[in-house]
Structure formats: C-alpha cells, structure tokens
C-alpha cells in the first residue's frame, strides 16, 4: 500500500473515495467533517437530522457524488464520543475506512485530517496497514484485488513537515513488522516447524541487519537446557533455540533488553493430551516468539540506541514414544529441579531455560511474551494481555507503552503467598499450580528463573487471536504485543 501526504483544497480532489471521521452527537459539524465544504456539511446535517448519521463508533455512511466535492464518494466513519478518542480508537477509524473501501473494491482513497491532532499520522498509518491484512494465504480464491493500492492523507492547506514524514515511516515499519508476526502466527504447524521458524528468523536478520544464531538439539543438550529439551523430546521435529541480537554501535552498554518469546509451534499437551476440540488453535502457541521476531525486525529499521537480544525456544509438544511424562523430575539449566505434574504446562519450562540463557548472555532486563495459560483468558478475555512482574518500574513502562499504542494490557498480581501452590513434594518446584490463579502461578514459575533481574511477563494466550471479524481487523492473528514492545524500546533510547 502506497501511503503519502497530499496538500491542497479538499473540495478539488478527484478521487474514488474520500473518508473522514465524525464524532457522536454532532457528526455533521465535529471532527474531520469540519474540514469539508459548507455544502457537503449541509448534506451531512440532513442525514444527521434524519438519524441516518449518528457518529457512533465505526458507523459507516457512504455518499455517492457528495455535494461540494469532486470526489466520487464520501465515507463518514463514526468516531464515537470525542472524550473517548485515544490511540487505539484513532487506529481503528482509519482501519474501518480501509476495510470498508476494500469491501467495495475501491483501490485508491483519501483520508481527511490525519495529523490534524484527531488521528496522529503514526496511528493512522498503523490502522490502515493492519486493516489491509487478511490471513487468506492458502485460499485459491484469495482476492488480491481487494487491497488498497494507494492511500492519501489529505492535509488541506497545511504542508506536512519532516516530523509528519518521520511518523508516517515509523507507522509503516511498525505495522509491517506486526503483519509479519501475524503471518508467522497464522501458519499451520506443518508449515511452521521449529526449523522453519528459525529459518524465518535468520532470513529476517539477514534482510534487516541483525546478528543471528540458531542452536539445535546437540547444543541445547550441551547447555543443559533440560527443561526446554524435555518438551522437544516427544516430537520428531528437532527443537531450535533462536537468538537474534541488535547491538547498535555507540549505544550504552546497559541496559541489555532480553526479549524471550514462547515458540511452541504446536502444543498437543503431550502425554497430558488436550481434548480434540479446538486443538488446531495450538498452532498459535509460538505467538510470543513470533512477536519477538517482529519487534526485532522493527527496531532493526527504527534503530533506537539500545541493546536488545531476542531468545525464542522453539519446539513441538508431542506425545511421542520418547515424550516426557508426568512425575518426571528435570534439572533445568539454572540447576533448579522441576517435578512435572502436567506435560501441558510446557511453556513455562521452555521459558525457564530461555530466561536463564538470556541472563547468561548478558540480558539485564527480561521481558517475555507467551501464550502461557488458558487461565488468563478466564480473567481478561481475548481483549487484554495479562502483565506480571515484581519490578514496578518496568511493569509500568510496559503498561504506559500499551496505553500509548492502544494495545490493552492489565497488571495481575504476583505475590509470595501464591508460591505454596506450585511447591513439589520431591523437587524444588512443580510445573503446575492448579486451576485457581493459574495465570499467576504460571507467571511466578517463570519469574523464579529471572531471579533478581528485572522481569516483565506478558501472557498473550487471549490476545494473540481475534476470534471475530471486526470492521477494522480481520479474524485471525493480532500481532500482540509487537507495537507495545517497539514503543517501549523506542522510549528507552
């Protein structure tokens, strides 16, 4: 999608579709509709009076041959209540317009007002590119003609400066990285094995100038990553430990941010096997790892002055003949022993060794993203990512980056009082803490391996996937929490 600014009087622009947002209550005379000529607004006024135009969130009103304009059509997108407009809402407005236009096979459109303060340029660009994605790669009738070729941000009489152009480029980089993550998450497990995920990581690193290293079964065992190895044992697919590094010359030596992403390319549950119903969803159990690869891709282009390392333990959790079993005791890379009570609580085992490895490789702040528990979806649904950590400063940094980008996140507690839930009668700790507080005990298990290093855990089991098509977003992978983490890294530097 070509996105650019266009100056000049709105009423003179010849284009298949002009789109503008309008607030609830006074859609004909608020928001971007203020920038339209008086005759156009008079027409909107009539629609407002008749109740056809309300300005309610994501309402789409299409006018052909709009009076006062040379554009063939005018689309008014409801922006909801003015006081509720935030980053997420701004992004959705442009997204709604893009998906509406696609539905009408329109390929060229203009957006009134981006950058005027209503919809910041970066959010507008992100909204457009995220909306133009569909997980339809494997459909023979894939409608590639249903994509927007050209989107113009109409700035009226004001000339966009350097700042606006920088924002546009930043939005594009971040949204394209998010879509890259969505593509990885969408791949079925036969086409996204640990080996293929590592190949994707290496080719991305090459393309964007990152250092990469991939460890296979021998190296993983030689490092005593027995917790990670235990998962991989049951599968014919060999595991991969994927390591990407971004070390910009001249960046301060600390902090070194370690981004750890769960990379289970399929989670059957292992011997503690999952029910058949919805098991196909477990192809997305590498969403945390895919997100970290997306973040690395974005920062390789945005170039913040901060050192970052991504560690993605990639394996398949299968009930094969060599699979690990309930009751097994495993000595993790850190030396802590773990009693396996449920082989379906595998993510925390992979993270345990990956966190330890990231620390050993010099990580001074650890952030992990993982589709770790069904329990977090009971607490927060599919809307909000669960945020955990003992270090208030870093938890708050993540939360404020989430607010700034419109990705929803909420802190859940970690507290010593929960520790008894995952004690083991024969080893240092057990790998499950029971049903109650399941997202918390899983997080705390992972935290045991961060030790004193500042650590934030993001449970994205709910937010990795959008279960219902939205006016601004396809059904399918969301790319959470790429945008939050990129924002965080950009604001450390």
The Cβ-side half-sphere exposure at 335, using a 13 Å CA radius, reads 1
342 is an interface residue for ligand BES by CB under 6 A:
yes
Three-state DSSP class for residue 437 = coil
Distance CA 133, CA 135 (A): 7
267 is an interface residue for Mn ion by CB under 5 A:
yes
79 is an interface residue for ligand BES by CB under 6 A:
no
Nearest-approach distance from CB 350 to Zn ion, in angstroms: 9
Which contiguous run of DSSP H or E holds residue 470? none
Binding site partner of 342, from Zn ion, ligand BES, Mn ion, none, Cβ cut-off 5-8 A by kind: ligand BES
**Angle between the 287-302 and 162-186 helix axes, to the nearest 10 degrees?**
150
461 is an interface residue for ligand BES by CB under 6 A:
yes
The Cβ-side half-sphere exposure at 155, using a 13 Å CA radius, reads 15
**In this chain, which of 346, 368, 407, 448 binds ligand BES, going by CB under 6 A?**
346
Handedness of CA 377, 378, 381, 385 (dihedral sign): negative
Residue 348 a catalytic site member: yes
Query: Which of the ranges 27-35, 61-69, 201-209, 343-351 carries the binding residues for ligand BES, by CB under 6 A?
Result: 343-351
Token pair listed for 259: 């981004």
Q: Choose between 119 and 407: whose C-beta lies nearer to ligand BES.
A: 407
Residue 359 a catalytic site member: no
DSSP 384-420: -EEEE-S-HHHHHHHHHHHHHHT--EEE----GGGGG
Query: Which of the ranges 117-125, 189-197, 327-335, 337-345 carries the binding residues for Mn ion, by CB under 5 A?
Result: 337-345
Three-state DSSP class for residue 66 = coil
293 is an interface residue for ligand BES by CB under 6 A:
no
Token pair listed for 224: 């005593």
- Residue 5 in contact with residue 152, Cβ under 8 Å? yes
Binding site partner of 233, from ligand BES, Mn ion, Zn ion, none, Cβ cut-off 5-8 A by kind: none
Catalytic residue among 274, 336, 408, 470: 274
267 is an interface residue for Zn ion by CB under 5 A:
yes
Distance CA 28, CA 22 (A): 7
Nearest-approach distance from CB 373 to ligand BES, in angstroms: 4
374 is an interface residue for ligand BES by CB under 6 A:
yes
Distance CA 91, CA 74 (A): 19
Q: Name the residue with the smallest CB distance to ligand BES.
A: 374
344 is an interface residue for Mn ion by CB under 5 A:
yes
> Where does residue 236 fall: left (phi above 0), alpha (psi -120 to 50 degrees), or beta otherwise?
alpha
Q: Choose between 220 and 287: whose C-beta lies nearer to ligand BES.
A: 287
Q: Choose between 27 and 347: whose C-beta lies nearer to ligand BES.
A: 347
Q: Choose between 372 and 446: whose C-beta lies nearer to ligand BES.
A: 372
**Chain residues in the site for ligand BES (CB under 6 A):** 267, 285, 342, 344-347, 371-375, 432, 438, 461
Active site residues: 274, 348
Interface ranges with Mn ion (CB under 5 A): 267, 344, 346
Residues that bind Zn ion (CB under 5 A): 264, 267, 285, 347
């Amino acid at each position: 999608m070509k996105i650019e600014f266009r100056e000049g009087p709105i009423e003179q622009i010849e284009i298949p579709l002009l789109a503008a947002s309008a607030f609830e209550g006074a859609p004909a005379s608020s928001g971007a509709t203020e920038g339209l000529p008086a005759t156009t607004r008079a027409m909107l006024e009539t629609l407002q009076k008749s109740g056809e135009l309300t300005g309610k969130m994501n309402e789409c009103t299409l006018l052909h041959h709009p009076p006062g304009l040379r554009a063939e059509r005018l689309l008014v997108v409801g922006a909801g209540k003015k006081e509720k407009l935030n980053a997420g809402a701004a992004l959705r407005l442009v997204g709604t317009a893009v998906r509406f236009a696609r539905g009408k096979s329109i390929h060229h459109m203009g957006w009134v007002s981006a950058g005027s303060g209503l919809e910041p340029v970066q959010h507008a660009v992100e909204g457009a590119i995220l909306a133009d994605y569909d997980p339809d790669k494997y459909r023979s009738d894939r409608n590639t003609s249903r994509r927007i070729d050209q989107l113009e941000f109409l700035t009226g009489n004001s000339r966009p400066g350097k700042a606006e152009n920088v924002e546009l480029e930043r939005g594009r980089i971040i949204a394209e990285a998010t879509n890259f993550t969505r593509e990885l998450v969408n791949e079925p497990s036969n086409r996204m094995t640990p080996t293929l995920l590592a190949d994707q990581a290496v080719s991305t690193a090459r393309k964007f100038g990152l250092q990469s290293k991939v460890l296979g079964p021998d190296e993983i065992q030689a490092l005593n990553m027995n917790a990670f190895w235990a998962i991989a044992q049951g599968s014919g697919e060999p595991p991969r430990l994927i390591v990407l590094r971004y070390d910009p010359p001249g960046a301060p030596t600390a902090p070194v941010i370690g981004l750890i992403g769960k990379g289970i390319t399929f989670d059957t549950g292992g011997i503690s096997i999952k029910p058949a119903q919805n098991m196909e969803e477990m192809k997305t159990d590498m969403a945390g790892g895919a997100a970290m690869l997306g973040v690395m891709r974005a920062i390789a282009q945005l170039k913040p002055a901060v050192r970052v390392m991504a560690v993605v333990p990639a394996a398949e959790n299968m009930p094969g003949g060599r699979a690990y079993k309930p009751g097994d005791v495993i000595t993790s890379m850190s030396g802590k022993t773990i009693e396996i009570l449920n082989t379906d609580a595998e993510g925390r085992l992979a993270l345990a060794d990956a966190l330890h490895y990231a620390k050993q490789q010099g990580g001074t702040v650890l952030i992990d993203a993982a589709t770790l528990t069904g329990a977090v979806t009971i607490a927060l649904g599919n809307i909000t990512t669960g945020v955990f950590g003992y270090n208030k400063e870093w938890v708050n940094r993540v939360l404020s980056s989430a607010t700034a980008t419109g990705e929803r996140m909420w802190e859940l507690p970690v507290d010593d009082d929960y520790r008894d839930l995952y004690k083991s009668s024969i080893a240092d700790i057990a790998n499950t803490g029971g049903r109650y507080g399941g997202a918390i005990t899983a997080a705390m298990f992972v935290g045991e391996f961060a030790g004193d290093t500042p650590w934030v855990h993001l449970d994205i089991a709910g937010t990795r996937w959008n279960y219902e098509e939205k006016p601004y977003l396809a059904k399918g992978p969301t790319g959470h929490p790429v945008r939050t983490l990129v924002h965080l890294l950009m604001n450390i530097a």
